[in-house]
Structure 1
Amino acid sequence: MGLINAIQNEIKAAVGYQQSFAELLASRDVTRALSMMRDRSESAAKFRKEYEINTHKVMEREDRAVYDKKGNFLRWSKRNKIPIPYQPFINEIALVFLYGRPVKWSQGSEGTDDAFSYYQNLMGEIRFNSIIREAKRAAGAEGVSAILYHCYKDEDNNPRLLLNLLSHENGDTIYIVKDQYKRLTSFAWGYYLTEAGNRTVYHVDIYTADTIYRAKRESVGWEVLVMPNPVGKIPVLLFEQVPEHSSVQPLIEKIEDSESTEADVIDRFANPAMVATAEILNSLPKAEDEAKLYILKNGGDVRYLTWDQASESKRNQFERLDKHILSKSFTPNIDFDNMKSLGNLSAKAIRKIMLLAVIKAERHKEKHDGYMNRHASIMKAIMGNVLDYRNKAQYDALVLRHEFQEPFGDDVSEMLADLSKQYNDGALSRETYLEMSYLVKDVKAEMDRIKQEEAERMAQQLEQQRELNKMDAFGEAE
């Protein structure tokens, strides 16, 4: 069947038969369907090469050939290759200021407490907070990554969900198709699997809103398994951005090259060298002698030539480049000395000091707000259509809201004092007070406990009042 499809597809292509993306998938012409999609692997590979220190451009420096006076080759002189991991440092700072603390979720609908509780439990089960950080880290390094929401059945035939991070580092190829409104209409994931006989085979899973195509490359054509998409949405959260280091990459390459060249110079000239006149050459002690005696003749001279310090201009250049790399990538200079000097500053004061990273995080939120909205939409579809379809109506009615949290936390004592004042003034309800208090982990459970305590206190007061009334009836009350 695969051979027949391959022949038919080749004939259609040869005669110039125009087919849409959907028609190509329907005819199992996976090769041409992929050619209509945007392949992100080439750009991801380029950025990953810049990111990993062992593939930095400075590592391409070749050793220097040494020749004698007659031009005969003598040896290779090693040249220093000093990669500096600015890229991971810049990327990690950006990650911490966006997802250093988990995204805070709340429900904006009524009568959906059970659905929201199930959502929160499921988020912990699928390790969303960890996966989202991994996805942001990969996107910050490569420019693109994706989270695939994979639905499957466990050993007991129950539907389950897991999240799979897709990135170039993990050996994944990402293909996408978007419409004119930048909406994702098709997504494909390419990967290799080792099958029986130690044979490595290329697979491609193509997702549309209503269909999943699982394709495996054969010697001729493709073997394609077509199945309906139970989620009803493309189960992918796609991360796209300019890599965090991209704007300062030329500066990083310059400083690495300068440092490597400087190291070569230090190796050649930093160690003291003896300078002696010809009159004492024959009187130099041997290297293994414990005591050294220099006998000078006829005005002979011996001294050490030392390299006192590097060029001031080179030192200034390094400081300027380092400053530009960090500031132009919106990265605060965080090291042990700087952090030690902060002391016991409040979260607000630290936020001001780290303003560059805060600015970058706020800029990232322009996109990541949309990413979190899409995540909520996908999760509601999975819960209602796959995992717990009996309660689909409740998941459809569930309104999920999110909030990014500050990486260093808030000044909780000040916030709690403000909340208490507003609650005592009647400006806040008790439930809102509990929702905003950092001490309360489960608002619903806390409300139930408070109501139970109030009921017990009321019952106790009523019992005391009855006892007082009884005593008064017999004239025993004071």
Structure 2
Amino acid sequence: MEQQELETLISNFEELKKKVVATKPAFDFDKISKQYDVSGHAVMNETLRPKKKVETDDGASFVDVARLPVPFQKKIVQLAAAFLCGNPIQLVANPESEIEKSLVGILTKTWDDNKLDYDSKGILKLMMKETEVAELWYTEPVDGEYWKGTFNQGSNFRLRMKILANSLGDKLYPVYNNAGDMIAFGRGYFLPEGDKKIEHFDLYTDKATIKGKKTDAGWETTPETNMIGKIPVIYYNQDAVEWADVQQLIERYETSISNHGDTNDYFGSPIVFVEGEVTGFAKKGEQGKVLQGENGAKAEYLSWDQSPESVKLEQTNLRSLILDFSDTPDISIEKMQSLGTFSGIALKMLFLGAHLKASDKEEVFGKGIQRRINFLKAANAIINLKLKPSLTLSVKPKFTYYLPSNEKEMIDLLTSAVGTGRPILSQKTAVGLNPLVQNADDEQKQIDQEKKDAQEGLNDLMQ
């Protein structure tokens, strides 16, 4: 949709809503929700995995089969989000003037007060498990104390953020022009009024926000001017859910271990078999099971010695394929214990796949974070017009991929680098890199003071 068509349709909200909704391809949210939630997995569906008909002394009956869903989808999403956003996203800038430093300070305060270090990770999880999510920014009035001591002192507003997602009751409709630029964003949702749920549809553009409410007489709209000049919505999306490539492997794995569970229920304990005509049958899960035969029949134990190796091999292969092709590291206690002690380089190699995946994900998610930063810059310059000269300052997000650290190895390396002989690293730099140090400047001052005190003590002894 082009800008001119959008502006023409604004006068007819019903037609506008239809056009906006039609711009988005069909989206089966229920399907991917069932894949993520173990209660919706195929092995839990009695149509796909029906109960088993068995013959007992009382005649035929149906007993439930083993249903063992495995939350691989959740594990894939959680670990992928942890590797990309497990460490807080840093704002990288090189402010020179006082006003630029003030802008960075205000961005940091806005970031912290909205708890974006936590919400960024949550937004990433929603994108990976639902393929789309958005954040809606709006202004909120504050008292005079909120901005006290900052460049915004005296301002009466601050920025707040709300997460929009299908799982939270929102329908998301980004509108793009032929160049691929988002020119508007639609949000559909329902709000309770009395004993009814009323349909709402809001449209956000760089010029205005149009809030629509459906009534018996049609759509009732309330337009609001957008003073910021940017669409107040940051939209994140990806083509498919994070586990899409391994979904069939997961379903096969769940079927395999569920079938194995059924086999164990029937053959896990020995069965006394009476040779001859069978007159009675055992029930699934019954301990000390007996099959009865005619008089004079020969009795013997039937037992299943071990699971076929082919079943075990299939399950092992499936689990390995699921983790490998989703670039999900196996960090179970058993796996890590079997690997022994690792050096820093070995740990990096172990998590190489997860880090490469995080790098790919950053290309998508990082663009949204950059748009967020640009929006916050523009919005704060409206809250405080004195900040406008600082808008040319480049502020970039920096992601630090999660990696378990070997603190002893790092300290030994730093000690060697600043040691006797020909050092290759200054003590100040080494202190800053020390993983045990919280504040490098304070730590260096303390080191210098201790050196001074030690020298003074030595001088006193020599006198």
Question: Scaled by the length of structure 2, what TM-score is found?
Answer: 0.77
Which range moves more in the overlay, 186-195 or 270-279? 270-279
Contact kept in structure 1, 2:272 and 2:300, CA below 8 Å: yes
- Residues 1:380 and 2:366 are matched in the alignment: no
Query: In structure 1, the residue corresponding to 2:168 is in which secondary structure?
Result: coil
Distance (whole Å) between structure 2 residues aligned to residue 117 and residue 190 of structure 1: 35
Query: In structure 1, the residue corresponding to 2:43 is in which secondary structure?
Result: helix
Gaps of 5+ in 1: 1-18, 282-296, 458-478
Match of 2:259 among 242, 258, 261: 261
Distance (whole Å) between structure 2 residues aligned to residue 106 and residue 84 of structure 1: 40
Match of 2:118 among 125, 130, 133: 130
Q: Which residue of 1 aligns with 2:398?
A: 403
Contact kept in structure 2, 1:134 and 1:165, CA below 8 Å: no
Q: Which residue of 2 aligns with 1:168?
A: 166
Contact kept in structure 1, 2:246 and 2:322, CA below 8 Å: yes
What are the equivalent positions in structure 2 for 1:111-126 lying under 5 Å apart? 111=97, 112-126=100-114
Q: Measured at CA, do residues 433 and 106 of structure 1 come closer, stay the same or move farther in structure 2, by a change above 3 Å?
A: farther
Q: Deviations over 1:352-399 (max 9, x none)?
A: 11111111111112223322221210110111113x3333323x1332
Contact kept in structure 2, 1:44 and 1:144, CA below 8 Å: no
Contact kept in structure 1, 2:417 and 2:425, CA below 8 Å: no
What are the equivalent positions in structure 2 for 1:343-354 lying under 5 Å apart? 345-354=342-351
Distance (whole Å) between structure 2 residues aligned to residue 131 and residue 219 of structure 1: 38
Contact kept in structure 2, 1:61 and 1:81, CA below 8 Å: no
Q: Which residue of 1 aligns with 2:127?
A: 139
Q: Measured at CA, do residues 125 and 325 of structure 1 come closer, stay the same or move farther in structure 2, by a change above 3 Å?
A: same
Matched residue type, 1:192: F
How many angstroms does 1:316 deviate by? 1.0
Q: Measured at CA, do residues 375 and 347 of structure 1 come closer, stay the same or move farther in structure 2, by a change above 3 Å?
A: farther
Matched residue type, 2:127: A
Match of 2:13 among 8, 15, 28: 28
What are the equivalent positions in structure 2 for 1:72-151 lying under 5 Å apart? 74-111=60-97, 112-151=100-139
Distance (whole Å) between structure 1 residues aligned to residue 202 and residue 416 of structure 2: 53
Distance (whole Å) between structure 1 residues aligned to residue 74 and residue 40 of structure 2: 13
Distance (whole Å) between structure 2 residues aligned to residue 418 and residue 150 of structure 1: 52
Contact kept in structure 1, 2:347 and 2:404, CA below 8 Å: no
Q: Deviations over 1:331-364 (max 9, x none)?
A: 1111012233556534433121111111111111
Q: Which residue of 2 aligns with 1:390?
A: 386
How many angstroms does 1:409 deviate by? 6.3
Query: In structure 2, the residue corresponding to 1:38 is in which secondary structure?
Result: coil
Q: Measured at CA, do residues 401 and 64 of structure 1 come closer, stay the same or move farther in structure 2, by a change above 3 Å?
A: closer
Distance (whole Å) between structure 1 residues aligned to residue 119 and residue 345 of structure 2: 29
Q: Which residue of 2 aligns with 1:66?
A: 53
Distance (whole Å) between structure 2 residues aligned to residue 208 and residue 420 of structure 1: 57
Q: Which residue of 2 aligns with 1:288?
A: none
Question: Scaled by the length of structure 1, what TM-score is found?
Answer: 0.75
Q: Deviations over 1:36-81 (max 9, x none)?
A: 43167x3333222211111112221344363769xx9832221222
Distance (whole Å) between structure 1 residues aligned to residue 229 and residue 439 of structure 2: 32
Distance (whole Å) between structure 2 residues aligned to residue 393 and residue 434 of structure 1: 37
Q: Which residue of 2 aligns with 1:476?
A: none
Contact kept in structure 2, 1:47 and 1:143, CA below 8 Å: no
Query: In structure 1, the residue corresponding to 2:212 is in which secondary structure?
Result: strand
Matched residue type, 1:404: F
Contact kept in structure 1, 2:124 and 2:365, CA below 8 Å: no
Distance (whole Å) between structure 1 residues aligned to residue 223 and residue 77 of structure 2: 39
Q: Which residue of 2 aligns with 1:234?
A: 231
- Amino-acid identity (%): 24
Contact kept in structure 1, 2:418 and 2:425, CA below 8 Å: no
Q: Which residue of 2 aligns with 1:336?
A: 333
Distance (whole Å) between structure 2 residues aligned to residue 334 and residue 348 of structure 1: 17
Q: Measured at CA, do residues 378 and 314 of structure 1 come closer, stay the same or move farther in structure 2, by a change above 3 Å?
A: same
Match of 1:363 among 360, 381, 395: 360
Distance (whole Å) between structure 2 residues aligned to residue 154 and residue 45 of structure 1: 40
Distance (whole Å) between structure 2 residues aligned to residue 163 and residue 355 of structure 1: 34
Distance (whole Å) between structure 2 residues aligned to residue 94 and residue 203 of structure 1: 34
Question: Which structure has the bigger radius of gyration?
Answer: 1
Contact kept in structure 1, 2:329 and 2:354, CA below 8 Å: yes
What are the equivalent positions in structure 2 for 1:177-256 lying under 5 Å apart? 177-195=175-193, 197-241=194-238, 242-256=240-254
Matched residue type, 1:131: D
Q: Measured at CA, do residues 353 and 176 of structure 1 come closer, stay the same or move farther in structure 2, by a change above 3 Å?
A: same
Distance (whole Å) between structure 1 residues aligned to residue 418 and residue 176 of structure 2: 49
Contact kept in structure 2, 1:151 and 1:162, CA below 8 Å: yes
Figure out how many residues of one structure are paired with residues of the other and give that number.
Answer: 408
Distance (whole Å) between structure 1 residues aligned to residue 82 and residue 366 of structure 2: 16
Query: In structure 1, the residue corresponding to 2:241 is in which secondary structure?
Result: coil
Which range moves more in the overlay, 361-370 or 165-174? 361-370
Query: In structure 2, the residue corresponding to 1:237 is in which secondary structure?
Result: strand
Distance (whole Å) between structure 2 residues aligned to residue 348 and residue 147 of structure 1: 38
Contact kept in structure 1, 2:271 and 2:303, CA below 8 Å: yes
Q: Measured at CA, do residues 341 and 274 of structure 1 come closer, stay the same or move farther in structure 2, by a change above 3 Å?
A: closer
Distance (whole Å) between structure 2 residues aligned to residue 176 and residue 232 of structure 1: 17
Matched residue type, 1:379: L
Gaps of 5+ in 2: 145-154, 280-294, 453-463
Matched residue type, 2:329: P
Matched residue type, 2:87: R
Distance (whole Å) between structure 2 residues aligned to residue 44 and residue 418 of structure 1: 56
Match of 2:37 among 42, 52, 56: 52
Which range moves more in the overlay, 358-367 or 321-330? 358-367
Q: Deviations over 1:162-193 (max 9, x none)?
A: 22111122111111112233222111122211
Distance (whole Å) between structure 2 residues aligned to residue 199 and residue 85 of structure 1: 36
Q: Measured at CA, do residues 348 and 204 of structure 1 come closer, stay the same or move farther in structure 2, by a change above 3 Å?
A: farther
Contact kept in structure 2, 1:43 and 1:142, CA below 8 Å: no
Query: In structure 1, the residue corresponding to 2:166 is in which secondary structure?
Result: coil
